Amino acid sequence: MEPSSSNSMQTDHCLEKAPMEVHQVAPPPHRSTIQKLKSRLKETFFPDDPLRQFKGQPLEKKWMLAAQYIFPILQWGPNYSFKLFKSDFVSGLTIASLAIPQGISYAKLASLPPIVGLYSSFVPPLVYAVLGSSRDLAVGPVSIASLILGSMLRQEVSPTSDPLLFLQLAFSSTLFAGLFQASLGLLRLGFIIDFLSKATLIGFMAGAAIIVSLQQLKSLLGITHFTKQMELVSVLSSVFHHTNEWSWQTILMGFCFLVFLLLARHVSMKKPRLFWVSAGAPLVSVILSTILVFAFKAQRQGISVIGKLQEGLNPPSWNMLHFHGSYLGLVVKTGLVTGIISLTEGIAVGRTFAALKNYQVDGNKEMMAIGLMNVIGSTTSCYVTTGAFSRSAVNHNAGAKTAVSNIIMSVTVMMALLFLMPLFQYTPDVVLGAIIVTAVIGLVDIQAACQIWKIDKFDFLVMLCAFFGVIFVSVESGLAIAVGISLFKILLQVTRPKTVILGNIPGTDIFRNLHHYKEAMRIPGFVILRIEAPINFANTTYLKERTLRWIDEYETEEGTKKQSSIHFLILDLSSVSSIDTSGVSFLKDLKKTLENTGTELVLVNPVGEVLQKLQRADNDRDMTRPGTLFLTIGEAVAALSSTMKGQSSSYV
Amino acid sequence: MEPSSSNSMQTDHCLEKAPMEVHQVAPPPHRSTIQKLKSRLKETFFPDDPLRQFKGQPLEKKWMLAAQYIFPILQWGPNYSFKLFKSDFVSGLTIASLAIPQGISYAKLASLPPIVGLYSSFVPPLVYAVLGSSRDLAVGPVSIASLILGSMLRQEVSPTSDPLLFLQLAFSSTLFAGLFQASLGLLRLGFIIDFLSKATLIGFMAGAAIIVSLQQLKSLLGITHFTKQMELVSVLSSVFHHTNEWSWQTILMGFCFLVFLLLARHVSMKKPRLFWVSAGAPLVSVILSTILVFAFKAQRQGISVIGKLQEGLNPPSWNMLHFHGSYLGLVVKTGLVTGIISLTEGIAVGRTFAALKNYQVDGNKEMMAIGLMNVIGSTTSCYVTTGAFSRSAVNHNAGAKTAVSNIIMSVTVMMALLFLMPLFQYTPDVVLGAIIVTAVIGLVDIQAACQIWKIDKFDFLVMLCAFFGVIFVSVESGLAIAVGISLFKILLQVTRPKTVILGNIPGTDIFRNLHHYKEAMRIPGFVILRIEAPINFANTTYLKERTLRWIDEYETEEGTKKQSSIHFLILDLSSVSSIDTSGVSFLKDLKKTLENTGTELVLVNPVGEVLQKLQRADNDRDMTRPGTLFLTIGEAVAALSSTMKGQSSSYV
């Protein structure tokens, strides 16, 4: 790097290096309003251009592509081989062994009959196998959606005193969740789930895991009179107000199985090859504990059991959907919240594993698949389902190649429904509690939280808000607070856009942030300011105040308070991606204000849209004539410095 | 411009021009989290740095500056001269002649006793003269705030059947409006009013003007049974359902005075020197019409008159403030809406005239002044007041130099309150209606609407929504819809940021939008992409899809579908002003995805904050090592082209 010499020399040097030819800022190619609107709509709703592959194909091929687009099974089905089937068969059986106990547990978490959890592990996976485009997603009920569904419905209807109504509302909520999910995909509004940022989700998941685990204290301690509230304080006070109900047999059994399950989980995490240890552990626990209870007649010692489950496949439930009366609002709201939460989980899981195996998952298509799965589910006695993270991980580790593993799982669950139901009669609730705790503990991701703290403090704050909101207020509020804060941050960024003073890096045409690059130097007589956001109604007032302050500070720093010290304010508009009428007025006002102090406003490199709007507003061609509009800062400085020298006598 | 030759030649040419020395991307100077937080808070809440002038001053001077800051009158007071007073005296009398009839009319618009309008033109101007920093603002009741106050309170309380309660609620709303305004200023949250964009305001004002004018049909046609609704359809149906109540005497009188007032307005608009014609016309109309009614005993012919007004100054009203019971919500809501609307008007008017005379108005300080003015007003029988556009324009044209013109106006109104009240007894309502119509007609700004259509179609849509919302639904809904759409546009811009493919302008180091500058050319083997927004949770999914599509389209355009055609994706991050954890993951994911297709991700010119976060997340220094991080696109292309040539055998 050259030794820095005096300012004026640098300027001269820069001038010598600058290309002699000054480039014009050309207006962008003309497009009509309709064309602009069309391309804007395409960018907004079809960023992935799903119809691209249809272009230039013969009609027959187009039909086939369309069918493959709607039913991805037609894409991979024809090439399906026995080798793939072997992998899918193993992984299908593995996730079935996880799905059966988890299905029963999660249904209990949602205050639904345990059998509904098994129903929900039978039909939806079949639907997803036909419609879904992820190869790793294992579909079924999940903990968080179950928790939210149960807690929201319990606010108005008691599952113990009116179980039929509760079930009806659960199916209706599932229908609305499915309709909502499918329409998000159909209307290509999938970006709505993007507003749940990673930080929000990490905080939310951890909070929900704790809430779910706390709920399991009921079965783990054998308490019979348990609070209906979800948040930390009332659950803990309920636990310690009913110490007389604690049952040592239940606690002992729960402790043993919890340790067993956690150990199995630990082993599989240390050695991913041993994935089957943690995958099989829940089923082993269920079988073992059922035998124990049956052998020792332990249900008479105060260990509560599931009880009789009805044999047979899913009964139809379209006659149980509930569209009228006072519960419609509740059902729609519950459907909306569980729909968006389960969608977020499903899409995130699908994308994670797609990235691992390097294939693409089309978000909007997935939404339609998950939505349809829930719509069909709601008519066949299933409640909200989606792609579960823990089960999909097992599926992936077990070597699943296609959605056929979901079919295998579904068939296995069907067998269980047809023939194994009597065996679950003596399964103790405490083991189900232990299974849930082990499943949700993985949702507390401390490592990710640390990483967020390291990278972005504000995201960490959002995460904490979601976490504590869920724990201390309610699941929905925690989520709402976190989304609210994230949106507020975005709005703040728009209202307070960054402005940066640029300096020249000696010996080059490069202009960079003066407060970042130490070698960057001011050019006397110029203030070079870069605005790093669209200029719009929400920030013009700020930008005006801030710009005038930059000029003022510059003058103060220079130590000269005379007006003539700044001849030109160069605004680098490269990063201003759009402008509105308020923004145009801001630039016009700024020009006028500056002219009164003898400073000229010079614009550099406005993008096409901005340039067009400025030209349309600038009737007397005052801002967009060649002398005040340049393509690069370097050219502007070079051209204006020469003017300045010619006129210098009039300024000083 | 050079004739364009083959691509490879251009690249070589570019390489020769590129500086041999490659500049390092330096990390920004270290700042602690506290320092960053401090500077962020300062940028957010104190962009104008109000304490700057205090720096380095002796203590005594600091006290004086503080006093001057709080009471701007101390700033200009000591230099006040007789010459200034002469100007202020003339303009004060002029606006008083406008304020008296307008005060009475606007109070009637708000369903308040006419005398309250005069009270509100006496105390608030005095308060503003001491606290306000605008030299042109003429303070008093305004049409839109009066309209909203009246219409919101009328929804729950009838001003005819319970006038005392109505008055109490009006004063209480004024108090809350004042408190809200003052606290916005105190908490430096002034940017909240920025969310009412210029387009929204133009549509809103025009709609409100029409609503206000329609309300005047009551007095202009002499109808006694008039609807309480505000929106177009019910008002018109009410007008045409009561044709039997139309009074020809009233209509004739109204028509004559309306023509007279509109003519006066027209004259003043054509020749600004004749500002006194339109300024004096309302008072002349009032006097003339009062004499006419008195002379012809016209009140007996069905021309309704104001009636007896009580003589004397403002009675105290703190005992009438109403904080309890079922109306508290209504009062707070009304205060909030009228507060924000009147604040917006006051600040906008202040800024407009400050820009004309080239002085600064401090938004947050003005908010405190207007807020305190309303708080004090609410205890002295005044309702919501602010700086009125029409009266301030007259004030400015009449040559007002300082806030003394407000004092003169106030004193004149005081005189009227003390001695002239009996004279207004026979003033007909129809003239007040004509005065209001003439005053609000100026709010319909068709020229500005055309300008908005020319510059920005979306802003035009926002304007139309505000306009039709106000006319057909309600004043608050119109405003809410317009603000909602504006915010949605901002969020859409954040969710769907612009990405631009850059090309090299031959013979230079300049890279510009390939689809804007025809001379810009691709560089074989490179895709150069510029992201023009902060990368955050709301747009990472979109950005990934869009980036992959850009690459795909590029490959399709090139006609070569082999993987090796693109060796480098250069991401120009100059315009990415910030990034969050989701954004960091996006870049990491993108790098991994691209590596699988043999393309390397290269970052160019990340700003300080973005660079720091990338470095913190990039444990294995994969993204931020010199070979994948450059200061300019030109240097990146130059450096990487040479690698490409060296390795080309391995690629092809």
Q: Are residues B425 and B530 in the same domain?
A: no
Strand partners, B502: B513
- Contacting residues of B for A584, CB less than 8 Å apart: 455-456
With tokens 């579909």, the residue in question is A139
Interchain proximity B542–A454, CB inside 8 Å: no
Per the CB < 8 Å rule, is B197 touching A631? no
- Start-to-end Cα distance in chain B: 34
- pLDDT computed for residue A12 by the predictor: 39
CA max distance for chain A:
107
A472 and A530, same domain (yes or no): no
Share the mean pLDDT of chain A.
Answer: 84
Give the residue from B338, B321, B440, B347 showing the smallest Cα distance to B384.
B338
Check: complex ipTM more than 0.90: no
Last residue of a domain, one of A491, A510, A526: A491
Strand partners, B529: B501, B571
Among residues B441, B346, B443, B433, the alpha carbon closest in space to that of B102 is found at: B433
Nearest CA distance, A598 vs chain B (angstrom): 13
Q: Do B575 and A578 touch (CB under 8 A)?
A: no
Task: Based on the fold, state whether residues B433 and B525 are members of the same structural domain.
Answer: no
Nearest by CB to residue A574, choosing from B19, B486, B574, is B574
Phi then psi for B394, rounded to 5 degrees?
-60, -45
What is the pLDDT, as a whole number, of residue A23? 75
Assigned domain for A382 exists: yes
Residues B371/B182, Cβ–Cβ less than 8 Å: yes
Testing the interface with A: which of B197, B456, B544 to mutate, by most A Cβ within 10 A? B456
Q: Would A55 be classed as within a structural domain? A: no
pLDDT class of A19 with cuts at 50, 70, 90: very low
Contact B244, B326 (CB under 8 A): no
SS3 for B465?
A: helix
Q: DSSP character for A521? A: B
Higher per-residue pLDDT: B407 or A215: B407
Q: Specify the amino acid at residue B463.
A: M
pLDDT in tens, A621-643: 777 777 888 888 988 898 888 87
Q: Check residue B279 and give its pLDDT.
A: 82
Task: Give the domain extent around A176.
Answer: 75-491
**pLDDT at residue A401 tops 50:** yes
Residue in A23, A360, A534 nearest the CB of B493: A534
Closest Cα in chain B, distance from residue A411 (Å): 35
A17 lies in some domain: yes
Q: Render pLDDT for B587-629 as a digit per residue (tens, 0 to 9).
A: 988 988 888 888 889 999 888 888 888 888 877 777 777 788 8
pLDDT at A11: 39
H helices present in A157-247, as ranges: 163-186, 198-221, 232-241
Residues of A in contact with B454 (CB under 8 A): 616-617
Measured between CA atoms, the residue of chain B closest to residue A28 is B516
Residue ending a domain, choose from B472, B491, B510: B491
| pLDDT attached to residue B222 | 82
* Strand blocks (E) in A216-366: none
B536 and B473 both lie in a single domain: no
Tokens describing residue B446: 């068709």
Contacts of A49 in chain B (CB under 8 A): 549
DSSP secondary structure letters along B423-456: GGGG-BHHHHHHHHHHHHHTT--HHHHHHHHHH-
CB nearest to A613's CB, from B456, B578, B605: B456
* pLDDT beyond 60 at A14: no
- From A26, A198, A607, residue closest to B537, measured CB to CB: A198
Considering the domain architecture, whether residues A216 and A344 belong to the same structural domain is answered as: yes
Q: Kindly list the residues from chain A whose CB atom is less than 8 angstroms away from the CB atom of residue B631.
A: 510, 512
CATH classification at residue A625:
3.30.750.24
Distance from the B147 Cα atom to the nearest Cα atom in chain A, whole angstroms: 26
Q: What is the pLDDT of residue A281?
A: 87
Can you give the pLDDT at residue B564?
Answer: 52
pLDDT of residue A548: 86
Of A47, A490, A516, the CB nearest to B542: A47
Q: Do both A384 and A351 map to the same domain? A: yes
Say yes or no: B556 and B479 in one domain.
no
Q: Does the distance separating the beta carbons of A459 and B581 come in below 8 Å?
A: yes
Same domain, A324 and A344: yes
DSSP state of B526: E
- Test B539 with A459 for CB contact under 8 angstroms: no
Same domain, A484 and A500: no
Q: How far apart are CA B193 and CA B344, in angstroms?
A: 6
- With contacts defined as CB-CB under 8 Å, which chain A residues touch B589? 355
Token pair for residue A53? 């592959």
CB nearest A191 (choices: B542, B613, B616): B542
Using CB atoms, which residue from A490, A532, A578 is nearest to B536?
A490
Residue B350 inside a domain? The answer is yes
Q: Which of A31, A456, A508 to substitute to test the interface with B, most B CBs within 10 Å?
A: A456
User: Does A207 or A556 have the greater pLDDT score?
Assistant: A207
Q: What is the residue whose two structure tokens read 């690698």?
A: B643
Q: Which of B19, B581, B605 sits opposite A508 (nearest CB)?
A: B19
pLDDT digits (tens, 9 = 90+) for A322-362: 777 788 889 999 999 999 989 988 988 888 888 778 777 88
Residues of B in contact with A456 (CB under 8 A): 580-581, 584, 613
pLDDT of residue B646: 53
Q: Which of the listed residues A442, A466, A491 is the one where a domain comes to its end?
A: A491
DSSP at A386: E
- Please compute the mean of the pLDDT values over residues A265-291 and round it to a whole number: 86
Rounded to 5°, the CA angle A346-A350-A351 comes to 120
pLDDT tens-digit series, residues B218-230: 888 888 788 777 7
In terms of domains, do B112 and B248 share one? yes
Number of domains in chain B: 2
Which segments of chain B have a pLDDT < 70? 1-21, 558-564, 645-652
For residue A550, the model assigns a pLDDT of 86
pLDDT at residue A332, rounded to an integer? 92
Instruction: Answer whether residue A40 is part of any domain.
Output: no
Residues A526 and A590 in one domain: yes
Task: Tell me which chain A residues have a C-beta less than 8 angstroms from the C-beta of B456.
Answer: 579-581, 584, 613
Residue A376 in this model has a pLDDT that exceeds 60: yes
Enumerate the residues of chain A whose CB falls inside 8 A of the CB of residue B585: 198
From CA B59, how far away is CA A542, in angstroms rounded?
A: 30
Measure the CA–CA gap between B446 and B438, rounded to whole angstroms: 16
Tell me whether residues A496 and B363 touch, CB distance under 8 A.
Answer: no
Coarse DSSP helix, strand, coil percentages of chain A, rounded to the nearest 5 percent: 65, 5, 30
Local structure of residue A418 (DSSP, 8 states): I
Q: What is the mean pLDDT of residues A276-284?
A: 85
Residue A81 lies in a domain: yes
> In which band, very low, low, confident or very high, does the pLDDT at A563 lie, cut at 50, 70 and 90?
very low
Q: Do A191 and B507 touch (CB under 8 A)?
A: no
The answer as to whether A411 is a domain residue is: yes
- Is residue B297 within 8 Å of B426, Cβ to Cβ? no
Residues of A in contact with B43 (CB under 8 A): 496, 546
Question: pTM for the full model?
Answer: 0.79
A70 in any annotated domain: no
| Residues of chain A found within 8 Å of residue B355, distances taken between Cβ atoms | 589, 592-593
Of the candidate ranges A12-26, A543-557, B6-20, the one whose mean pLDDT is the lowest = B6-20
pLDDT given at position B126:
94
Count of C-beta atoms within a 10 Å radius of residue B269: 13
- Give yes or no: residues B570 and B435 share one domain: no
- The reported pLDDT for the residue numbered B559 is 59
